[in-house]
Amino acid sequence: NAGVTQTPKFRILKIGQSMTLQCAQDMNHNYMYWYRQDPGMGLKLIYYSVGAGITDKGEVPNGYNVSRSTTEDFPLRLELAAPSQTSVYFCASSPLGGRNTEAFFGQGTRLTVV
């Protein structure tokens, strides 16, 4: 059971570089999410998607972009990396939304921007 798979697990970027964090799920879930987790803090929603071709901003979208061309994949793009983007990034998926949201998480990507 693969569930939600994130790659890479770790990455160090220089300021101004760009990269894409990959996320794939094999559970045929419609809803997918990107969260960031800063030390000692809870999770903040960056972007989410309710189905292929549909994305929307979360709480902290600045500096990020997403796309959802298939049900399975939901990559997160950082265009111009900044030190403030140093964080642990989690992708999650859910079969339903709203009060029935029961999210399944990937193992995370630890990103450091230097």
Residues making contact with another protein (CB under 8 A): 4, 31, 33, 40-43, 45, 48, 50, 56, 58, 90, 92, 97-108
Whether the CB-CB separation of 4 and 22 falls below 8 Å is answered with: no
- E strand spans, 38-108: 43-51, 54-57, 64-66, 76-78, 87-94, 104-105
CB of 58 to another protein, least distance (A): 7
Whether the CB-CB separation of 78 and 11 falls below 8 Å is answered with: no
CB of 26 to another protein, least distance (A): 15
Pick the closer one to another protein by CB: 59 or 79. Answer: 59
CB of 20 to another protein, least distance (A): 19
